[in-house]
Amino acid sequence: MDFSPTEEQRIAIDSFRRFLEAEIAPAVAEHGDAFIPKDDMRELLVKLLPFGMGNGLIDQAHGGLGLSPLTVGLLFEELARVSPDLAIVALIQMEAGLLLSAGSESIQADYLAPLLRGERFACIGISEPGAGSNIAEISSRARRDGDGYLITGEKQWISSGHYSDFCICVARDEDGPGDGFGLFIVDREAGYESRNIPKMALNRQSTAQLHFDRAKVPADNLLAPPGEGLRRLMTLLAGSRPLVGLLAVGVARAALDHSIEYAKSRQQHGKVIARHQLVQARIAQMAVQIDAARLMLYRALDLTGRGEHANLESSMAKHFATEAACEVTRHALAIHGGNGVAREFPVEELYRVAPILSVTEGTPEMQQLIIGRSLLGESAF
């Protein structure tokens, strides 16, 4: 297995890195720690589309760039290093695009095409106040209404929720086949409201609570019929977990870069702290964890790109990478000493970002259960 970037990938990464430093980093910095308004976020997202951020995983036949999962991952890591907030928005657009690309021609025309042009924001409504990692406990209901459905329920921790023009909502039709879970495209005008949730970090983008009160879904907006929704979602999550892991790697890389720069300039006891043994040990440990996480994630993306089942590898990689990011940012804080908790130093924010990523798209405990089930052949939930 050789995950070394090809010449084409290296050119794309170098070009994207220069673009991010010149265009995206300053634009994000203008907003400070404040929420980026929808129109400003759309403008940023549109600038990223030529690099595959938001459309890279969608095949060319459906209007995307048709990049391999590994190529998208290499580019996504660079975006996450500069702005994890913006990376989350791009990730949701890509996930929604993958779901929509399997829809009908009308769904692709009305939802997928404008999403890929950056004209419309999507969100995916899975988590609820009483149903987090175990999505089988979702309580949102879909009730038949003529040819369509009425959706009632509440969703929580929904990325891009406040930006969203439509929501791909998971709800249960109790009269439907199997478990009854389906995927329903709900337009905001159809009757859902959103409220941003303040968090310890990642507040430049939207994480929201959504409320559905008999929201009307016409028959043409049924993306996955009752009984097939969870299967579609499980496939999606297995493919997107490595990208969440690379989001964490991007954060960890930023923490390492800032720590190296600081260690070379900060003097203590008559010499720069880069010459202190314990500082070098921390830097070495950070680099080892980042590289190990990256290789695990590249393997998962490579397997996905070759059409192989990679649920085990994806969960292992996501679990390791997000936990590693927590430890790397902790080391970065220690290297900076008292300055590490000062808002003027970037590692303070990175330290707050990392724990959020560990619970994104499946907590560490849930990843362990998925790994255990894959190895033992027995489900613990």
Q: Identify the residue with better confidence: 294 or 360.
A: 294
For the record, the structure tokens of 124 come out as 């995916």
- Which part of the chain is CATH 1.20.140.10? 231-376
- Burial (CB < 10 A; 0-12, 13-18, 19+), residue 279, is buried
Residue 114: the pLDDT is 97
**What average pLDDT does the structure give for the chain?**
94
Residue 379: the pLDDT is 82
**Strand, helix or coil at 149?**
strand
Q: Where does the pLDDT of residue 164 fall: very low under 50, low under 70, confident under 90, or very high at 90 and above?
A: very high
Residue 381: the pLDDT is 66
Provide the 10 A C-beta neighbour count for residue 374: 14
Q: CA–CA separation, 256 vs 348, rounded Å?
A: 13
Residue by residue, what is the 3-state secondary structure of 22-66?
A: HHHHHHHHCCCCCCCCHHHHHHHHHHHHHHCCCCCCCCHHHCCCC
Q: Give one DSSP letter per residue of 215-232, joined into a string.
A: EEE-GGGEEE-TTSHHHH
- Overall average pLDDT of the 143-152 stretch: 94
> Comparing 23-27, 98-102, 132-136, which segment has the lowest mean pLDDT?
132-136
**Maximum CA pair distance of the chain?**
79
Count CA within 13 A, CB hemisphere, residue 281. Answer: 4
Spatial contact of 182 and 176, defined as CB atoms under 8 Å apart: yes
Q: Where does the pLDDT of residue 133 fall: very low under 50, low under 70, confident under 90, or very high at 90 and above?
A: low
State how beta strands 122-125 and 166-172 pair. Answer: parallel
Q: What are 182-209's pLDDT values in tens digits? A: 999 999 998 899 999 999 999 999 999 9
Report the CATH number of the 122-227 domain.
2.40.110.10
- Burial (CB < 10 A; 0-12, 13-18, 19+), residue 332, is buried
Please say if the pLDDT value at position 354 is more than 90. Answer: yes
Give the helix ranges, DSSP H, for the chain. Answer: 7-19, 25-29, 38-48, 69-82, 84-100, 105-107, 113-116, 229-265, 277-305, 311-336, 346-358, 364-376
Please say if the pLDDT value at position 231 is more than 90. Answer: no
Please say if the pLDDT value at position 329 is more than 90. Answer: yes
**Strand, helix or coil at 267?**
strand
- Burial (CB < 10 A; 0-12, 13-18, 19+), residue 235, is middle
Rg (CA), the chain: 21
Quick one: CA dihedral 222, 225, 229, 232, positive or negative? negative
Provide the 10 A C-beta neighbour count for residue 218: 16
Q: What are 89-108's pLDDT values in tens digits? A: 999 999 999 999 999 999 99
- Which part of the chain is CATH 1.10.540.10? 7-116
Q: What are 55-86's pLDDT values in tens digits? A: 999 999 999 999 999 999 999 999 999 999 99
Q: CA–CA separation, 241 vs 267, rounded Å?
A: 40
For the record, the structure tokens of 368 come out as 């362990």
CATH: 3.40.50.450, 3.10.180.10, 1.10.540.10, 3.40.50.300. Which one for 7-116?
A: 1.10.540.10
Residue 132: the pLDDT is 67
DSSP state of 178: T
Q: Which CATH superfamily is domain 231-376 in?
A: Butyryl-CoA Dehydrogenase, subunit A, domain 3 (1.20.140.10)
